[in-house]
Chain A
């Protein structure tokens, strides 16, 4: 029952859009001590690679947490275009 977040996301249905719905200006991330994004995102879409924050919008389950949880305010949040993104079968 104890499965990784990647396996969990594999159970979610997506209509993947080519257009990025969340934009992150990572130029300010190196100055950020908290790096809150590494903790709040329940889909683990923010990762630290060689000291740099990376954001992957594919696999985003649109929970909304990054809209207001980034202490630097560098996340430009929007929903995916109509019909795209996550679609829960149970919800």
Chain B
């Protein structure tokens, strides 16, 4: 390949495909390279995508995309050793327009990359990019083995561990910025899933777990319902895992055994195990001369504690990157200054706005009390309120009892939480 492209995109995940699709639609000459055998081969996520960003790009995409279930039921469970408390939220408004869908990435990413191909982008799988091509201090293309391929702009869409961003000097990796996600796909009959999660036929549920499941390490568990399987997993901060000397893979194993979880997955068969790091607070430089960074590669994720978002941010940033490239092409100026328009677009869209809104969330969410004290207090309070053993107290007195010795800290946490979330 000696051809020169307008744009080369590294990685055919949602960020890369959104950029490729948008650019190809605008008539540009786009190459998208993917190191996997097929788009999605290397990609891991919890299992739910918020629909908003993709709906802007491909209106009503769910009518043709391989989505699993539309999420209409949201659950949050506080887990203790022998008890649990679940908040169960159902909302018909989550349907119109659809708020989120559960998906399986291997299927979904192939579909999305194919939309870019249909629009005119050239997709080449089985290509690992080894290096960037430089002319003085400007990125001018990519190197893969013996091949050097040139482009006006390179878009790094190479995921959470973006070696492209690192090579361009836009990213430094630090363990405290990352969480580790581990996941299982557990096969169950469609009807069993709908019965266990109280779902109308075809609808989906998302259930988050806080507390005992992460052994008091900041993080949580999740279950997302697919058509005939569940996505079951755990997310934990890596530095805290190391500090506590806990085997990562043992946490997900024990999660399966928790009585609340065990009931939901009972009789199921594990089809696949996967894991990936998540750039929780690893936001890095998003542009330099001749290059833009989208999605996880740029650390564009938001964790509010309740909504965990990466894919929608990747898609929105991919589309914004395409806009910025279009403008740069018109001016024939691919300098850092010209490409900074990308950041301007993100700041005026939800991507960097939402990241700014929840800037304090990661720090708040690293508070150990959220994973130990609070689930415990909640479970104990409800235990005391619901148990009859001869000496009942009023609810308020029970509250005073279970919070004894921690009330000052709890008030500060409450105020901190209100500010951060």
Contacts and interface: CB of A to CB of B under 8 A. Distances in A.
Contacts of A36: 242
A32 B245 CA distance: 14
Nearest to A89: B106
Interface string A47-79: 000000000000001111101110000000111
B383 interface: no
B276 interface: yes
19 contacts: A1-B186, A2-B256, A8-B273, A11-B272, A40-B238, A42-B275, A63-B276, A68-B173, A68-B174, A78-B163, A79-B128, A79-B163, A82-B35, A82-B125, A86-B42, A88-B40, A89-B271, A90-B105, A91-B43
Nearest to A81: B128
Given A65-B277, A80-B128, A83-B126, 16 more contacts: A1-B265, A3-B253, A12-B273, A12-B274, A40-B242, A41-B248, A43-B275, A64-B159, A64-B161, A68-B175, A69-B242, A77-B161, A82-B126, A87-B42, A88-B44, A91-B105
Nearest to B256: A1
B246 A82 contact: no
B248 A40 contact: yes
B170 interface: no
A44 B104 contact: no
A87 B38 contact: yes
A38 B247 contact: yes
Contact of B272 (A39, A64, A77, A88): A88
A15 interface: yes
**Most chain A CB atoms below 10 A, which of B144, B248, B253:** B248
Nearest to A91: B105
Interface in B135-186: 144, 159-161, 163, 173-175, 178, 180, 182, 184-186
Interface in B14-58: 35-38, 40-45
Contacts of B36: 83, 87
Contacts of A11: 270-273
Contact of B274 (A78, A79, A88): A88
B105 A88 contact: yes
A1 B268 contact: yes
B178 A68 contact: yes
A62 B163 CA distance: 13
B37 A83 contact: yes
Interface size class of A (residues with CB under 8 A): 35 or more
A83 B262 CA distance: 36
A9 interface: yes
Interface in B247-292: 247-249, 252-253, 256-257, 262, 265-266, 268, 270-277
Nearest to A83: B126
Contacts of A89: 106, 271-272
A68 B163 CA distance: 12
Contacts of B126: 82-83
Contact of A90 (B185, B242, B252, B276): B185
B105 A39 contact: no
Nearest to A5: B249
B127 interface: yes
B351 to A, nearest CB: 22
Interface in B170-212: 173-175, 178, 180, 182, 184-186
Nearest to B104: A90
A88 B270 contact: no
A62 B182 CA distance: 12
B132 interface: no
Contacts of B266: 1
Given A40-B248, A69-B242, A90 B37 contact: no
B403 to A, nearest CB: 33
Contacts of B321: none
Q: Which 7 A-B pairs have the closest CB atoms?
A: A91-B105, A64-B161, A83-B126, A68-B173, A42-B275, A8-B273, A91-B106
A74 B238 CA distance: 17
A91 to B, nearest CB: 3
A79 B247 contact: no
